[in-house]
Structure 1
Amino acid sequence: MAISPTKYSEEELIPLLKRSDKQAYQYLYDHYAGAIYSVLCKVLKDTTKAEDALQDAFLKIWKNMDAYDPQKGRLFTWMLNVARNSAIDMLRSESRKQWEALSPGCTYNEAMITYQPPISGLDLRRYVDELRPERKILVEMVYFQGYTHEEASEILKVPLGTVKSRIRTALLELRAFFAPAELAFS
C-alpha cells in the first residue's frame, strides 16, 4: 500500500481528480475549502448559507471535474468560479422568491429586464489599479489569477506574513471604495 503524498502539485492532482480519486478529493477539500468558504461568506453574508453553498460547490466540482481545462486557468480559479456561481444562484433564487411574494402580478424575469447595475460599481479592476504596486500585484495574483498566499510568497520572494498583511490592507482600502460611509462609523 503506497503512502499518498502530503502535498500534491496541481499537475499531480488534476488527473487524480478526473479519475474520481477519493484521497485527491479529500486533499482538495482540506486545502481549498477554507479559502472558498471565506469568499462565500463575503458574497452571501451568512455563514449558514455559505456552508450550504460550499457543499453545493464541492458537489458541482466533483461532478464536473471533466469540464475543467488547465489551459484556461488554474484549478483554484475554476473552483472559485464554480463556488461563486453557486452563491449567485442561491441569491437569485432568494430574490426570485421574495419578488414573487411581494409582487404576485409581475414575474421576476419581467422586472429584471429593466434593471441594469451601474458599470462603475462593478469595475473592480479599476479600483485595484489604484492600490500601491506591492498590494496591487498581490491582489491580482491571489484574487484574479488564483494563486494561494503561499504561492505568491514564493514567487515574489516575500515573507508569508508580509503577503497576508499587504492583502489585508489592500482589501481594507478596496472596502473604502465601496462603502466609505460604513468605514467612518467602524
Structure 2
Amino acid sequence: MTYGEQELIASLRHKDEQAFSYLYDHYSGTLYGVICQIVENTELGNDVLQEAFINIWRHIDSYDETKGRLFTWMLNIARNAAIDKIRSKGNKQTQRQVAIPNNDSLPLSVSPRLDDFGLKKIILKLKDEQRQLIDLSYFQGFTHEQIAKALDIPLGTVKTRIRSALTQLRSLLS
C-alpha cells in the first residue's frame, strides 16, 4: 500500500501498525544515515534508530503539519536521539575531538542515502555559509554553541543563519 503524507499521518495517529511499517520501510535508511553521521558506530546507530522510531510512534500526536513536513519532524527526532545518546554516554563529543574546520568550502558530509531524496542537491543550492552550518549542525551533530565557538561567530548569528537556511530549504523543497 502507498500513502500520501496526510493519509500516513492520519493512519499513524490512529496507531495503524501497517502505516508504521510503511513509515519504517521508507524512512529508516535515511534516518539511519543521519544518525550514523552523529554516533559513528553502527551498533549504537541501530539502537538510536529504534529509539527514534519508538519516539515517533509515541509522539505522532504532537506533530504539527503547519510547522513543517513529517520527514523534517522525524529527522529532528532522530538527530536529537543521536545527540542525546552521545551525551548520555558521557562522551560529550570526546570521541569527536576533531576540530571544526574554519573553511568556507567545507565539504558536505551528507550520507549517500540522503541523495536518494535529492536533499544533497538542494542543500548545494544554499549559500556556502548556510550549507556549512546545516552540515555541521544536522549531519555532523555539533551543537549551536560548539559551532559558534569553533567558527568564532556569535551564537545568535549561528542560530539566525541556520533558521534562514532552513527557511530557504523549505522554499526550495516546495
SS of structure 1 residue aligned to 2:83: helix
Question: Corresponding residue for 2:6?
Answer: 11
Rounded to whole Å, the distance in 2 between the matches of 1:122 and 1:37 is 25
Structure 2 residue corresponding to 1:80, chosen from 64, 75, 80: 75
Alignment of 1:97-136 (within 5 A): none
5+ residue gaps, structure 2, are 137-174
Q: Which amino acid aligns with 1:63?
A: R
Structure 1 residue corresponding to 2:21, chosen from 26, 33, 37: 26
**CA-CA distance at 1:167 after TM superposition:** 7.1
Rounded to whole Å, the distance in 1 between the matches of 2:71 and 2:15 is 17
Structure 1 residue corresponding to 2:32, chosen from 20, 32, 37: 37
**CA-CA distance at 1:50 after TM superposition:** 0.5
Rounded to whole Å, the distance in 1 between the matches of 2:75 and 2:89 is 21
Inter-CA distance 168–78: structure 2 relative to 1 (3 Å threshold): closer
TM-score (norm 1): 0.53
Please provide the CA RMSD for this pair. Answer: 4.2
Question: Corresponding residue for 2:45?
Answer: 50
5+ residue gaps, structure 1, are 100-117, 153-162, 179-186
Inter-CA distance 98–40: structure 2 relative to 1 (3 Å threshold): closer
Question: Corresponding residue for 1:60?
Answer: 55
Work out which of the two has the higher radius of gyration on C-alpha atoms and give 1 or 2: 1
**CA-CA distance at 1:95 after TM superposition:** 2.0
**CA-CA distance at 1:94 after TM superposition:** 1.4
TM-score (norm 2): 0.56
1:93 aligns with 2:88: yes
Structure 1 residues 87-144: Cα deviation after superposition (integer angstroms, max 9, x where no partner): 1110111126999xxxxxxxxxxxxxxxxxx9xx599xx95xx79xxx9xxx9xxx8x
1:69 aligns with 2:73: no
Structure ranking higher on relative contact order (CA contacts 8 Å, 6+ apart): 2
Structure in which a larger fraction of residues adopt helix: 1
Inter-CA distance 168–46: structure 2 relative to 1 (3 Å threshold): farther
Inter-CA distance 46–98: structure 2 relative to 1 (3 Å threshold): closer
Share of identical aligned residues, percent? 45
Inter-CA distance 98–168: structure 2 relative to 1 (3 Å threshold): closer
Moved over 6 A (4+): 96-99, 167-170
Q: Is the 8 A contact 2:87 2:93 kept in 1?
A: no
